[in-house]
Amino acid sequence: MSSQRLFVLEVIFLLLFVEGLTSVSDLEWDQYKDQYKKQYRSTDNYHRDLYNKRVQVVADHNRLFSEGSVGFKLGLNEFSDTDQSVLFKFRTSIPTPPEPNTSGVTKTLGYKSYDQITEGIDWRQNGYISAVENQGTQCLSCWAFSTSGVLEAHLAKKTRSQLVPLSPKHLVDCVPYPNNGCYGGWVSVAFNYTKYYGIATKESYPYEPKGGECSWNSSYSAGTLLGHVTLTKSDEKELAEVVYNIGPVAVSIDHLHEEFELYSGGIMRIPECRSSKKDLTHSVLLVGFGTDPKWGDYWLIKNSYGTAWGEDGYFKLARNANNMCGVATLPQYPIV
């Protein structure tokens, strides 16, 4: 189904709810399932009921957006019939790894302090950021995508050569406990693995949204790292300095909110978002920041939900907004 046709369907859904109807038709539900190749082992009533609810959420929220009351909009997407918090319960058995002392931020000649930074930055413009991929709705492999993404960015920046996309699937299959493949993991554990074993290219170890046996020979590594830095101050100004002067950063956020799953553009603010380390549930790649003339400062972040989600796979998160969703709680980047 074309994106134009899906847009028309969304408009129809919104009009229906404005008129007070409470469910989508069989045809509309079938078209949604066809768009995202949805298949269920048994009855689809659970997913359809959740989808109906989400259509109403989108309509209500976007009414506020059109009135100028909120700075971001929602839309229907691949995640509109799923509840990520249910899947995330499988991650609760994965302990939070201790963060050992890491090398501090190295401030080279010309390093600008926050007060000296007068404009934003977008590392995509330098060719250091690979294409957005989709981890899938049933695989909690975000940690592998943020790890591979930040590694390939820093390797490309260091060598000033063409970016080589790296393999999140290699990490899903091979990084040991406490990481657990499609059931979740931590960026620092993946960094430590890559330090000793390297990482494959995306081409040589392509992604599938499922775990598998580790089939990797470290002698064919496409890249490695010397160590990594973990920022520990929960300081958004320090984080902005690092992004501006050093490069993209892997960050983790509290994402188990409907606003996040249904996000389709603008600067996201979620009042219920938490920021403590124990509440960080999703790893993403921070590639820049800027300021909107109406809605203020924002972070520019690459997600791993495919390009049909958000702003072509990216989202803007409110910056200097009391550490929104914990974006500054656990920032990490590699030393290559």
CATH number for the domain spanning 138: value is 3.90.70.10
Tell me, yes or no, whether 222 and 209 share the same domain.
Answer: yes
Q: Out of 61, 170, 228, 282, pick the active-site residue.
A: 282
Q: Which of 82, 111, 142 is the last residue of a domain?
A: 82
Concerning whether 217 is annotated as a catalytic residue, the answer is no
Structure tokens that stand for 311 in this block:
């702003």
pLDDT of residue 86: 75
Tell me, yes or no, whether 137 and 33 share the same domain.
Answer: no
CATH classification at residue 51: 1.10.287
Nearest to 257 by CA among 31, 8, 79, 13: 79
Concerning whether 142 is annotated as a catalytic residue, the answer is yes
pLDDT digits (tens, 9 = 90+) for 117-146: 999 999 999 999 999 999 998 899 999 999
Q: Out of 134, 179, 245, 303, pick the active-site residue.
A: 303
Q: Out of 142, 174, 182, 325, pick the active-site residue.
A: 142
Tell me, yes or no, whether 222 and 242 share the same domain.
Answer: yes
Tell me, yes or no, whether 199 and 222 share the same domain.
Answer: yes
Mean pLDDT check: name the lowest of 84-88, 212-216, 222-226, 261-265: 84-88
Tell me, yes or no, whether 296 and 232 share the same domain.
Answer: yes
Residues 143, 231: Cα–Cα separation, whole Å: 17
Concerning whether 139 is annotated as a catalytic residue, the answer is no
pLDDT of residue 90: 59
Q: Which of the four pLDDT bands, split at 50, 70 and 90, describes residue 8?
A: very low
Please give the tally of structural domains in the chain: 2
Rg (CA), the chain: 20
Tell me, yes or no, whether 108 and 245 share the same domain.
Answer: yes
Contact 71, 295 (CB under 8 A): yes
Tell me, yes or no, whether 49 and 103 share the same domain.
Answer: no
Q: Which of the four pLDDT bands, split at 50, 70 and 90, describes residue 10?
A: low
Contact 32, 38 (CB under 8 A): yes
Q: Which of 29, 58, 82 is the last residue of a domain?
A: 82
Q: Which domain holds residue 110?
A: 85-335
pLDDT digits (tens, 9 = 90+) for 66-79: 999 999 999 999 98
Say what the pTM is. 0.90
Tell me, yes or no, whether 100 and 75 share the same domain.
Answer: no
Tell me, yes or no, whether 76 and 23 share the same domain.
Answer: yes
pLDDT of residue 18: 44
3-class SS letters over 252-292: EECCCCHHHHCEEEEEECCCCCCCCHHHCCEEEEEEEEEEE
Q: Which of 82, 99, 127 is the last residue of a domain?
A: 82
Q: Which of the four pLDDT bands, split at 50, 70 and 90, describes residue 22?
A: low
Tell me, yes or no, whether 194 and 45 share the same domain.
Answer: no
Tell me, yes or no, whether 47 and 102 share the same domain.
Answer: no
Tell me, yes or no, whether 50 and 179 share the same domain.
Answer: no
